[in-house]
Structure 1
Amino acid sequence: MSRRSAGLVGVWAEVQRQQQRQREAEARQRREQERQARAHQRQLAQNQREYRQAEAGRRTAELDDRVASLQGLLAAGCRAPAFRAAALLRTEEVQAFDPGPLAWPVRMPDPAQYQPQGGWTAGRRAQAEAEARARFEHDWYAAQAAEAQRQQQLAAHRHEYEQRTGAHLSEVRRHNAGVTELTEGVRSGDPEAVVEYFSAVLYAATTWPEGFPRQVSAAYDPAARQLVLDWELPGYGVVPEAKSVRYMPTLDQDKETPRPVGQRRALYREVLAQSVLLAVHQLFAADESGALESVALNGVVDDHDPATGRQALICLATVMAPRGMFTGLHLEQVDPVSCLTEALRGQLSARPDQLAAVRPSRRPEDVRDRPVTRGGDEEPDLYDMDPIAFESLVADLFRAMGMEAVTTERSNDGGVDVDAVDPTPIRGGKIVVQVKRYRNTVPPTAVRDLYGTVQDVGANKGVLVTTSGFGPGSRTFAQGKPLELISGTELVDLLHRHGLRGRLGERGRPAARPEPAAREDYNVLGMSWSGDVALDVCALVCTGSRVLSDEHFVFFNNPATPDGSVRTVAAVPPDRAALRVAFDALPDRADRLVLVAAIDPEAAPHADLSGFTGAGIRLLDSAMTELGRLDVSDGRPHETALVLGSFRRRAGGDWDFVVGGRGYPGGLAQLVRDHGIDVE
């Protein structure tokens, strides 16, 4: 199967599948919780015969329910609503502009409220009148200034609202135009549009039981108006091997009664026939424009070919169904096997449990060299995902984490991509989420904007989710604030942990930062100091006094430069912090490496650098042999960040160390801002 379809319906189908996966994951989690609870109960009452018998009866009932759902697969699927392209269209409704408190003008002072106080004599009375007039004028000018500020803020909020709603309407219209274009393509018989649409119909259907595959490979023959596809069927293991469970008190154990082989084989053949008929039914039911005159469907399983031992797609059922004949069937009343093999003259393997293949009437490869493939185990590439679908996936993730979440495309809440509520007492509350589908580092301005939104809407926390990463400027600004930054790799990990799927590019994760080329080409800078003050030791790769980029600021949230030439490493006593530097691998445009120390505001929020004394740097080679020792300045009271010194590149290419000493009362944020990193 060659490639996946792309487009609006394909993205929608992927989101639908992710939502179903989430529901299935939740169901599995509930079953696991129930199983654990039962295990605990069984441990407490394992000698109670009534409980063991009831447990055996429950397991038997589960087997019966599973078999009943397999036997009723076709009937249940036919009762489900048909796929309609109109359901993909979004409304252009937007929430009315709500300025909130800014809608109310500032109340002007009333002169009647400013009467003279006191004054028995003419002079005192004149003074009291002057004081009252002065108070009135002071309050009047203050009110005028407040009103001007209100009008300015109101205009800014209105401008932001108009921009936001304009962008939303543009996105909705662009999406709807794409849906219209696709449906027109299906109506006109465009092969690409037809295949994309009907592949999505099957892939996104929610009627298939948990564990059923969703792999489809399709091609469209416009001359015959025929859709030809391979549709993956479930394996033999879908039919339970056990028929019932019975508790044997004399042995104090459960005994499974196996399902007769003939009964299991017959049920499996029936499931295959139902799956083929249901897939054809879904295709014809979704064909609003009459693009399909017939459907040639091959039901395949992905297994080892008994003849060759190689993994292959083995055809176990095939049918070529004309539209007129198929739509005249009453599928809820038919015998699936008879309907497939007799009424439709299809083929069904006599021994599907042994992978006995049948010959397909027509394959997608007969119509097109490279048929379109959808489904399987391939995960969606988050970089290529539609922005709206990406926001929906993030909302699914928050729901999977136990929160209530909705995308703002549906709620139209201003300035936020996803609204979430954490029901956890004390630490929970309203969470605003912004989503950035970037390939490059998220700029600090985006983090500052999120913080402003958190304050404007009164949220408990703001979360910024991206497919890329964050620089030191963003991390430093977020420190100590109700903000959480989730990078692309962290997002993929969260998705996988909560039953959702997603990858970053072809390999699923960004390329790892390279190590220095050779072990001999780096040095270790080990730093030590007296006192109990908690410090973060950082490095900035600079040209002059300006850092090359946010990624060239190495600290606890950015442990290495992009080229790996500078990175944090574990300190070896007597050192308390350490950096590894490959001086020859530093960028050509870099002429200095600045070393700084700063108070850890979380560990010591009220501390300063007065306790930073007796400081020094050991210069070691890659074998951890000490080559020399460099003294640095002590810290001073009221300062929370300090430039320890800098290595500077000389004309001949050597590096000399220059002692620093400049302190910063504003901490690490002030220091890095002074070196060109955009942080507030």
Structure 2
Amino acid sequence: MSRRSNGLVAVWAEAQRQQQRRQEAQRRAGEQARRDQERQQRDTERAMARMQRERQAAYRRQREADARRRTEELEARMAELSGLLADGCRALAFTPAALRRPEHVEPFAPGRLAVPVPMPDPSAYQPQGGGWGLGGGRRAQEEARARYEHDWHAAQAAEAQRLRQLEDYRRQYDQWAAGQLAEIRSHNAAVEDLLRGLRDGDPEAVVEYFSAALYATGRPQGFPRRVRAAYDPAARQLVLDWELPGFDIVPEAKAVRYMYAADQDKDVARPVTQRRTAYRDVLAQSVLLVLHDLFAADTSGALDSVTVNGFVDDVDPATGRPAQIFLATVSAPRTAFEQLHLAQVSAVECLTDGLRGQLSARPDQRAAVRPVRQPGDVGGGVVTHGGEDEPDLFAMDPIAFEGLVAELFRAMGMQAVTTQRSGDGGVDVDALDPDPIRGGKIIVQVKRYRNTVPPSAVRDLFGTVQSEGANKGVLVTTSRFGPGAHAFANGKPLTLVGGPELVDLLARHGLRGRLGNAAVPAQRPAPAEESAERTPEPPEEDGAAGNILGMNWSGSVALDVCALVCQGNRVLSDDHFVFYNNPRTPDGTVRMLSGFAPDRAAMQVVFEALPATADRLVLVAAIDPEADPHADLSGFTDARIRLVDESGTEQGQLEVSDGRPGETALVLGSFRRRANGDWDFVIGGKGYEGGLEALVQEYGIEVA
């Protein structure tokens, strides 16, 4: 073999060895990568298993904590029930002073009308430019002086207008304040008549006064407040039937335990004998507390004795018809009652032995007792509160009204209780919806108004909902809400219930209530609820108060924003089409505004004063053909309506549809009057290629 061939073989052999070494290195690298991947996978699986165990442990701890919290709530409820009488004895007694209203009205507050219009500063008007030479400088000085004089005259005119508005507003305030004082004095005069009748032993006055005393006292959640009473002046005895809570007032569960294996909560049942004993104790405490509240409120000495018959609503087993089943009865002389130390007694023994009353041995089975004496046995007028008579919600006592709203929430399947009159943080009723999905804590505010509820009340409710950590806020009124209130509530956990809706809800849930003898008035009187009296708002430019609808959009397209006051889809008249050639309706309830910064267009609307036949206010936008005859609404984007209230405060913004190519007019949306008098906004979106003429023709306006 030649030397050359030996060299080639050696090269070939070395190449083979290098290839084998590379293959071996790749094999070892692959095995190492596989081992690293398997190790990483095992680490991931261990981490996931650890996380799963931690999640399961955290979930278990959370469920166990929830069970402990519910158990603590049950224990707190039982402690509240067992301490009913002791807590009631510590509460402040009702006095005649609670019926009187202080003679106080809000002071005169003109707001921005109190600020004079600033006069122009001459030093700010310096010549601008003027060109070359003395003539140019002289012209610049004359122009500067002309600008100053123009602005000075405009400021003087604005100041004169401000003074006229201030004088008009002062006159309105004086009239309002005089009306408020007259109403307060009339109320206090009626209170004095009531107290005079109380001192004279007038049966109706006695019943009214002591019924108010019972309604004013606090009761735990779930306790009703229905009373039927009469007064015997000869015996100086008040006789009343008082509604007692049902057997479900005592929790059926004793504790709650979380069962890990089944992943569910289990209620530990309270023994029936324990529930029955606790219920009898609650009934006895309730009757004794009524006696305590009545005698404590008797500052005039009208009562020598009180007879209380405690009842529950149920079905008469003999007839199968609804009936009142009496579970407790007692007739207590004042002298005997004043010898008791109620905070230390056993309620059942005190009622049955100390006062010789009767208490059902099996109240859970509705074993009845015979009343000692009933209001119908007294003769004369018998007054019922919270019963079948349909009360006037406007005239109802504020505390009774709050109690009625709480009773409505209970009738709707929720837990509800009225709060104390002071220090309640703006909460009138605390409610709890037990629904596991949509339920939770509900804050309820009650406004017994005759005028439209201001948007500020809705803002205050939202602040209370946030500060209290509640799931929802409900504002209930005997009146109505304006568009500003609805705009602010839109998208927030708030529900607004107007007067007609309230009456309907009461009727649907077996309760009664009416709004006076007529519909809710549309004018602007002072509220009926004494705790919410407000001064009239400062007037706008022409003295008419109303909401401002400010229009804004993106793009440089020039638009005319117009409004139609309609009944259905027909404008009331040609004069009720507000646009650049007709800037206001005949009654001035809708008018265009100019220069209302920062809005590109604006209108003022007095919703409460719109014609009774009008049920909607339609807002439209159209291309200004004089500005650009070839433009369309493709440049009309990011459009919104800014709602501003009478004080100049923005209440919220309403989005409207964008324009489309080829369209030159568009229905932005409409404010629609609801059955209860409120106004809601419904977004529009229908466009027209024929411009404003084509749009208004659909609403019954003939275009020449």
Task: Please report the TM-score for the alignment, with normalisation by the length of structure 1.
Answer: 0.55
Relative to structure 1, the CA distance from residue 389 to residue 132 in structure 2 (aligned partners, 3 Å threshold; closer, same or farther) is farther
Larger deviation, residues 290-299 vs 165-174:
165-174
Q: Distance in 2 between matches of 1:605 and 1:333?
A: 76
The equivalences for 1:348-363 within 5 A come to 348-363=359-374
Q: 1:371 aligns with which of 370, 382, 385?
A: 382
User: 1:63, 1:242 within 8 Å by CA — same for their partners in 2?
Assistant: yes
Amino acid across the alignment from 1:219: A
Q: Distance in 2 between matches of 1:111 and 1:353?
A: 88
Q: Quickly say closer, same or farther: Cα 1:408–1:154, change in 2 above 3 A.
A: farther
Task: Tell me the CA shift for residue 248 of structure 1.
Answer: 6.2
1:315-343 CA deviation, whole Å, 9 max, x = no partner? Answer: 22211111122122110111212211222
* CA distance 1:551–1:89, change in 2 (3 Å): closer
The answer to whether the 8 Å contact 1:406/1:419 transfers is no
CA displacement 1:440-492 (0-9 Å, x = unmatched) = xx9xxxx9xx89xxxxxxxxx35699xxxxxxxxxxxxxxxxxx998654565
Match of 1:149 in 2: 161
Tell me whether 1:71 sits opposite 2:73 in the alignment: no
CA distance in 2, matches of 1:56, 1:99: 56
CA distance in structure 2 between the aligned counterparts of 1:435 and 1:237, rounded to whole angstroms: 27
Q: Quote how far apart the aligned CAs of 1:362 are.
A: 0.9
Question: What whole-Å deviation, never above 9, does each CA across 1:81-106 have from its counterpart, x for those lacking one?
Answer: 11223123222333333334433444
Q: C-alpha distance in 2, partners of 1:243/1:402?
A: 25
Look up the SS of the partner of 1:296 in the other structure.
strand
Read off the aligned partner of 2:179 and give its amino acid letter: A
Conserved 8 A contact 1:609-1:635: yes
Output the amino acid matched with 1:334. Answer: V
Aligned to 1:274: 285
Superposed, 1:19-38 pairs within 5 Å as: none
Alignment match, 2:696: 642
User: 1: distance between equivalents of 2:304 and 2:192?
Assistant: 22
SS at match of 1:639: helix
* 1:149 CA drift (Å): 1.8
Equivalent residue letter for 1:212:
F
Paired position in structure 2 for 1:95? 106
Who is 1:421 aligned against? 459
Q: Residues 168 and 416 (structure 1 numbering): CA distance in 2 closer, same or farther, change over 3 Å?
A: farther
Q: Deviations over 1:8-66 (max 9, x none)?
A: xxxxxxxxxxxxxxxxxxxxxxxxxxxxxxxxxxxx75997766665555554444333
Q: 1:465-504 to 2 correspondence within 5 Å?
A: 488-490=499-501, 503-504=513-514
Asked whether 1:265 is paired with 2:303, we answer no
Counterparts in 2 of 1:366 and 1:148: CA distance versus 1, 3 Å? same
Pair 1:83-2:137 in alignment: no
Is contact 2:329-2:369 (8 Å) kept? yes
Distance verdict in 2 for CA 1:662–1:325, change over 3 Å: same
Report the equivalent of 2:171. Answer: 159
Q: Which amino acid aligns with 2:188?
A: N
Given that residues 199 and 302 in structure 2 are in contact (C-alpha distance below 8 angstroms), is that contact kept between their aligned partners in structure 1?
yes
Q: Look up the equivalent residue of 2:295 and give its one-letter code.
A: F
C-alpha offsets along residues 58-80 of structure 1, whole Å, 9 cap, x if unaligned? 55444433332222211111111
Gaps (5+ residues) in structure 2? 1-54, 407-425, 432-440, 467-474, 489-494, 521-563, 578-609, 619-654, 667-687
Is the contact made by 1:214 and 1:376 (CA closer than 8 Å) also made in structure 2? no
Question: Using the alignment, how far apart are the partners of 1:113 and 1:50 within structure 2?
Answer: 72
1:295 to 266, 285, 306: 306
1:565-598, Cα deviation, whole Å (9 max, x unpaired): xxxxxxxxxxxxxxxxxxxxxxxxxxxxxxxxxx
Aligned to 1:313: 324
Matches within 5 A, 1:250-649: 258-368=269-379, 371-375=382-386, 381-382=392-393, 419-421=457-459, 461-462=484-485, 488-490=499-501, 503-504=513-514, 538=568, 602-603=656-657, 636-639=690-693, 641-643=695-697
Aligned 8 A contact 2:478 2:500 in 1: no
Once residues 287 and 567 of structure 2 are traced to their aligned partners in structure 1, the CA distance between those partners, rounded to angstroms, is 64
Structure 1 residue 259: Cα displacement: 3.9
SS at match of 2:696: strand
TM-align CA RMSD:
5.6
Paired with 2:701 and 2:190, the residues of 1 have a C-alpha distance of 61
Q: Given residue 99 of structure 1, which amino acid in structure 2 is its aligned partner?
A: P
Q: Is the 8 A contact 1:56 1:254 kept in 2?
A: yes
Aligned to 1:31: none
SS in structure 2 of the partner of residue 297 of structure 1: strand
CA 1:500–1:173 in 2, change beyond 3 Å: closer, same or farther?
farther
Q: How far apart, in 1, do the equivalents of 2:99 and 2:476 lie?
A: 22
SS class of match (2:372): coil
Alpha-carbon distance in structure 1 between the residues aligned to 2:657 and 2:140: 57
Matched letter for residue 459 of structure 2: V
* Amino acid of the structure 2 residue aligned with 1:319: V
Q: Does 1:663 align with 2:703?
A: yes
1:301 offset after TM fit, Å? 2.1
Distance 1:282 1:272 in 2: 15
User: Could you say if the C-alpha distance between residues 463 and 188 of structure 1 is closer, same or farther in structure 2, counting changes exceeding 3 Å?
Assistant: farther
Distance 2:266 2:446 in 1: 48
Matches of 2:617 and 2:336, distance apart in 1: 68
1:131, CA displacement in angstroms? 5.8
Q: What SS does the corresponding residue of 1:421 show, helix, strand or coil?
A: helix
**Are the structure 2 counterparts of residues 46 and 538 from structure 1 closer, same or farther at C-alpha, using a change threshold of 3 Å?**
same
8 Å contact from structure 2 (residues 390, 514) kept in 1: no
* CA distance, structure 1, for counterparts of residue 131 and residue 576 of structure 2: 66
Does the 8 Å CA contact 2:232/2:238 hold for their aligned counterparts?
Answer: yes
Matched with 2:28 is none
1:294 CA displacement: 0.7
Tell me the number of residue pairs that the alignment of Structure 1 and Structure 2 aligns: 471
Q: Which moved more, 1:161-170 or 1:386-395?
A: 386-395
Matched residues in 1 for 2:193 and 2:157: separation? 53
Measure, in 2, the Cα distance between the counterparts of 1:132 and 1:256.
87
1:176 to 179, 188, 207: 188
Change (3 A) 1:62 1:174: same
Q: Which amino acid aligns with 1:90?
A: R
Give the SS at the match of 2:88: helix
Q: 1:421 to 1:360 in 2, by over 3 A?
A: same
**Conservation of the 8 A alpha-carbon contact between 1:397 and 1:500:** no
Q: 8 Å contact 2:214–2:290 — kept in the other structure?
A: yes
CA contact (8 A) 1:45 1:51 kept: no
Cα 1:142–1:402 shift into 2, 3 Å: farther
Instruction: Give 2:238's aligned residue.
Output: 227
CA contact (8 A) 2:458 2:485 kept: no
CA–CA separation in structure 1 for the residues paired with 2:61 and 2:691: 74
Deviations 1:243-288 (A, max 9, x none): 4455666777666554444443333222221111111001111112
Q: What stretches of structure 1 of length at least 5 have no aligned partner? A: 1-43, 429-433, 452-460, 466-483, 511-534, 558-600, 613-633, 646-659, 665-680
Q: Secondary structure at the match of 1:315?
A: strand
Distance apart, 1:140 and its partner CA: 3.9
**Partner secondary structure for residue 459 of structure 2:** strand
1:217 maps to 228
Instruction: Confirm or deny: 8 A CA contact 2:476 2:496 kept in the other structure.
Output: no
Cα gap change, 1:294 to 1:305, in 2 (>3 Å): same
Offset, 1:422 = 5.9
> Match for 1:94: what amino acid?
V
Indicate the residue corresponding to 1:566 in structure 2: none
Change (3 A) 1:63 1:437: closer
Provide closer, same or farther for how the CA distance between residues 488 and 332 of structure 1 changes in structure 2, counting only shifts above 3 A.
Answer: closer
User: Following the alignment from structure 1 to structure 2, what is the Cα–Cα distance between the partners of residues 112 and 258?
Assistant: 87
CA deviations on 1:500-546 (whole Å, 9 max, x unpaired) are 98855699999xxxxxxxxxxxxxxxxxxxxxxxx999555999999
Cα offset, 1:357, TM superposition:
2.3
1:205 maps to 217
